[in-house]
Amino acid sequence: MAIPSLIDIALEDIIAALDAKSFTSVDLVAAYIARISEVNDEFHAVIEINPDAKSIARQLDEERSRNISRGPLHGIPLLIKDNVVTLDKMECTSGSLALVGARPCHEASVITRLRKAGVILLGKTNLSEWSNFRSEKSSSGWSPRGGQTYGAYLKNSQPSGSSSGSAVAVALGLTWAALGTETTGSIIGPAETNNVIGFKPTRGLISTDAVIPVSIRQDVIGTLTRTVKDAAHLLGGFAGRSEFDKFTWNIPFDTLPDYAAVCNGTNLQGFKIGVPRNAFMGMNIKPAALAAFELGLKILTDAGAQVVENTDFKATDDYKAMDKVSKLFAITTEFKTDIQAYLSSLDKNPNNIHNLDDLIAFTEGTPEERYPEFDIGRFHWTKAEGADLDAQKYKESLKQDLYFGGEGGILGAMEAHNLDLIVIPTVAEIPIAFAAKVGYPLITVPLGFYPEGTPVEMHKRGKMILYAPGIPYCITFISKAYSEETLLKVAHAFEQLTLTRKNGPQPYLTAKTEISDILRKSGRDLKI
């Protein structure tokens, strides 16, 4: 059995090697830590390594030696975004210095579930501070605690955000997979710019308790992986109901589907896939990405799917006419309430950050937070008139959000045309925003790379590259709530029919350490 490089290795490769005693989980953790140390000064993807990772791996190896298996994730290392609470020696800060040393009252249900499944928490990843809900003019992937994360495929390229470090770490093979979170686009965006699979499940399929919130109603924990099947495996390891998250009580089944089992074959006969062109045409989609998207539609058709045109969203023009503050008014109001609830629940709070006013004062008064270079405009949005859960303005904004995702958008198009999915270029912001507003699942699959001759464009902050030759782009599939099996089936088929990540270029700088190097240092040979 040939063992793939750690930049490509999939879960089933790791499981087979562990079962064959080719290497141990301790070896795997050591290899990942070595790889992180090689390249993290360049990319700033990982904010912290779990000091107990090797001892946890040793315990799980010992269980395996006694033929005890906790399931497919037994002994598998995983990186976690630094806004998901882990009650261990690691911090949970959302990238802010304000929460360094703080101690939440309980661990995220997702983390507890993953620990029981045998996952090794390898470390925490960098992110856009406060999940990009601090600044109106933020720098994607920057936090005062972790610095500036950079994209994997071009030096000095922006990584997108806010789950920046998770996507970059997966692209570089610093972990098998990583958890991210998404309120609107925060998994999908970094997945695209780093050529990996970004998967945001239905809101409520996975508990988001003990996650530093933007909007509890809209926040979702999802995954960054290198294959669709690995996303399916990971979903099976952490989905399910939690007593701490009322949204999970709506899961319509008692036994989770076998999500990995649907990642099989490339026949898409019987699937109807809609193309809502009025939600993305003429909206800064580069010619190369649009041409590749059109080719992607042909690939879907050739695989047996029925691709349906003229499935436009009724509410697109209404949404485009709104300003940014209005589009985000509902989650701004929820942030005001939800972040205060989180702060007030902390068991330890050494910086005495109890509410948004405390947070604003800390941010303005701490030089490392780089205020006013990075503004706090979104914090100030919470002070707008009507930004209260009992206010009529909030209720009207929430109703409008539900309309955009529902009858006026995704659900309306899907029901009118009897669709199984929607497909869009990943750069299309409106469908992704509409899906977020109603908690619908989506998945992004690599599609291509901008060609030679693509004009170089800089990020709005002016310091990082946004578009240039060699930067990746993706395709995104969206469906209704709890339609993950459909999404994964179609995304896996498309992935296998295109193999963009497998056959495309490597990141511009890669770590060199492999499992064989770890074994050699300990006087062992790789058993194949």
Contact predicate 150/129, CB 8 Å: no
Instruction: Determine whether 96 is an active site residue.
Output: no
Please classify residue 505 by burial: count the beta carbons closer than 10 Å to its beta carbon, then call 0-12 exposed, 13-18 middle and 19+ buried: exposed
Q: Where are the beta strands (DSSP E) in 92-247?
A: 119-125, 142-143, 147-148, 178-182, 197-200, 220-225
Instruction: Determine whether 22 is an active site residue.
Output: no
Q: Which of 140, 186, 242, 479 is catalytic?
A: 186
Instruction: Determine whether 186 is an active site residue.
Output: yes
Structure-block tokens of residue 24: 């141990």
Kindly report each contact of residues 310-313 with a partner whose C-beta sits within 8 Å and lies 24 or more positions away, as own/partner. 311/274, 311/275, 311/276, 311/413, 311/416, 311/417, 311/419, 311/422, 312/276, 312/277, 312/278, 312/279, 312/413, 313/276, 313/278, 313/279, 313/408, 313/409, 313/410, 313/412, 313/413, 313/430, 313/431, 313/434
> What are φ and ψ of residue 333, in 5° steps?
-65, -40
Contact predicate 141/148, CB 8 Å: yes
Contact predicate 310/413, CB 8 Å: no
Q: Count CB atoms within 10 A of the CB of residue 191.
A: 35
Q: Which of 128, 162, 163, 215 is catalytic?
A: 162
| Residue of 30, 63, 175 whose CA lies nearest to 516 | 30
Q: Which of 81, 229, 286, 437 is catalytic?
A: 81
List, by residue number, the catalytic residues. Answer: 81, 162, 186
